[in-house]
Structure 1
């Protein structure tokens, strides 16, 4: 039995979220070895609330997309969802490039981001296929009301 598009999409989003959480966790691992993780030039008085809210949004959108994908298979939502996956792939690409610009380069972070980018491309493909699929359940219901 093959998985439906929605099952594939939810699974890919879950893998993406786990990878993103692990990316954050890897950045904090030096703390467990008494090493600093502070950004050079940052001050205690800097307000980083906007960063935290941005991270919350970046994590929340895939969670909402997973729930919405489970319950909504409308053409409009599928198109919106495909656009969201394209946005996340672009963000992953830029984040991978940004990780390459950090000195010294944390190759384990770059490798993880490359995996996340690849998973995002697969998510783009499956989302695109789902967007192109005709909604046979809706067609079947329409035909039932005709007869």
Structure 2
């Protein structure tokens, strides 16, 4: 049963990463048609923006690997917390996209990414709960 959760979590993180890459790619597509691209970070330190993007993409990659090889309760708790943080960030990003009137296709993709994130929260929570239930059964009643 635990292997099913691991496979589901890894599949959801992979789908999330692909969707995030596609979201970035869609934002750059106008360049290939000699059109302007939105500059939401004009005047900012781009190293900080790129550093955030590096961590935003790298964390799920590391989590896929760790989920495959580590099933400790501490990791499961941390993993669930990280999935919640990503869902909150995705919700904030979706709200920001709506506020700036992002193209409809970007909004649909962000809704899909948020849905994947919420499903990831659910599966991660079930994986964590399974661990708690297994531990409770192992502890004899007093």
Shorter-chain TM-score tier: 0.7 to 0.9
TM-score normalised by length of structure 2:
0.87
Q: 1:42 is paired with a residue of what secondary structure? A: coil
CA–CA distance in structure 2, aligned partners of residues 94 and 8 of structure 1: 25
Q: Which runs of 5+ in 1 are unaligned?
A: none
TM-score w.r.t. the length of structure 1 is 0.84
Which residue pairs with 2:115 in the alignment? 118
Query: Matched residues in 2 for 1:131 and 1:40: separation?
Result: 38
Unaligned runs of 5+ in 2: none
Is residue 2:44 matched to residue 1:71? no
* 1:90 matched to 2:91: no
Quote the residue 2:78 is aligned against: 80
Would you say how many aligned residue pairs link Structure 1 and Structure 2? 136
Q: Which has more radius of gyration?
A: 1
Measure, in 1, the Cα distance between the counterparts of 2:130 and 2:41: 51
| Structure ranking higher in helix proportion | 2
Q: CA RMSD in A?
A: 2.5
What SS class does the counterpart of residue 15 from structure 2 fall into?
Answer: helix
2:35 aligns with 35
